[in-house]
Amino acid sequence: MQTSDEIYKFFSDYIFEHTGIEYKEHDYYRLDSRITTLIKNFEVQNSQELYEICKAKIDPTLQNLLIDLFTNNETYFMRDLKPFKALARSVIPKLKKENSSIDKLNIWCCASSTGQEIYSVKMAVDAFGQEEYKDSFKINASDISVEALERAKRAIYTGLEVQRGLPAQFLIKYFEKMEKEKTWSIKKTLKENTNFFYFNLLHDEFPREMYNIILCRNVLIYQSQKNKKKIIKNLYKALKPGGYLLFGAGESMIGMDSKFKTMEIEKTWFYQKDLAA
């Protein structure tokens, strides 16, 4: 039995309402594997039976499951190496000098997924940064997926995951092999100074002037123009004056009419909040 447009629309509308992620009609095929997983999970015969269950009631447990399945947790270590080098060699030292009175800079990775990005920042600072700045920051890691956050906290990765994007010397230096499970665990020292929490970029209340650096990479490409503007406005509010925002390589402020100042640092585009804001 094929999945009807009515069922596709139900799930796409639900995900859009709760996360802002759009599945348009020409993208409905991307829902198929997720729907199949749900069919197996609920031990029903087809998508119509699944639809009837979800249409009747979506409790918090089911909501978490839907969000975990339908959000895109695609990520890997050192995803585009240039931004991590720029953060380690230029941005963090500059901010630390400008904020010498504070103990640690406050960095927020607002879509941390399963943790590869936050640990990439820490590895980059250790590998490429100056010695005096290696312990100069703390990371706040949030995500809309509860399951992804739990994986990020555990920081245990498969052989395939550590091979994707991670230089061999980094694997040796920053990971420990777990022989029985055939997996790799981030070393304990890299887990320190990290705060994990659930956060919905579309619906939750943003803090005011809390962060020196915000990483919001490969998130806005899945949002509508209206939601992009809303999120960018809130990210501006959450940054301290003089703070920096970093997007993914395929994202920009084009058409956003934002207050950010655009600047290129080590071949990476950053967006800075005015010091006088």
**240 is a domain residue:** yes
**142 is a domain residue:** yes
Percent of the chain with pLDDT over 90: 51
Predicted model pTM: 0.83
pLDDT band at residue 218 under the 50/70/90 scheme: confident
pLDDT digit string, tens, across residues 22-68:
888 888 888 888 888 888 878 888 889 888 888 888 888 788 778 77
CA–CA gap between residue 184 and residue 35 (Å, rounded): 30
Note whether 88 and 58 are same-domain residues: no
| Amino acid of residue 204 | D
Structural domain boundaries, residue 29: 5-70
Note whether 118 and 242 are same-domain residues: yes
Domain edge (last residue) among 41, 70, 99: 70
Note whether 30 and 125 are same-domain residues: no
**102 is a domain residue:** yes
Tell me the pLDDT of the chain averaged across its residues. 89
- As for how many domains the chain has, the answer is 2
SS3 263: strand
pLDDT digit string, tens, across residues 5-22:
889 889 888 888 888 788
**75 is a domain residue:** no
SS3 17: helix
CA–CA gap between residue 129 and residue 84 (Å, rounded): 10
**277 is a domain residue:** no
* Those residues with Cβ within 8 angstroms of residue 150's Cβ, 6 or more apart along the chain or in another chain: none
* Those residues with Cβ within 8 angstroms of residue 223's Cβ, 6 or more apart along the chain or in another chain: 20, 21, 22, 202, 231
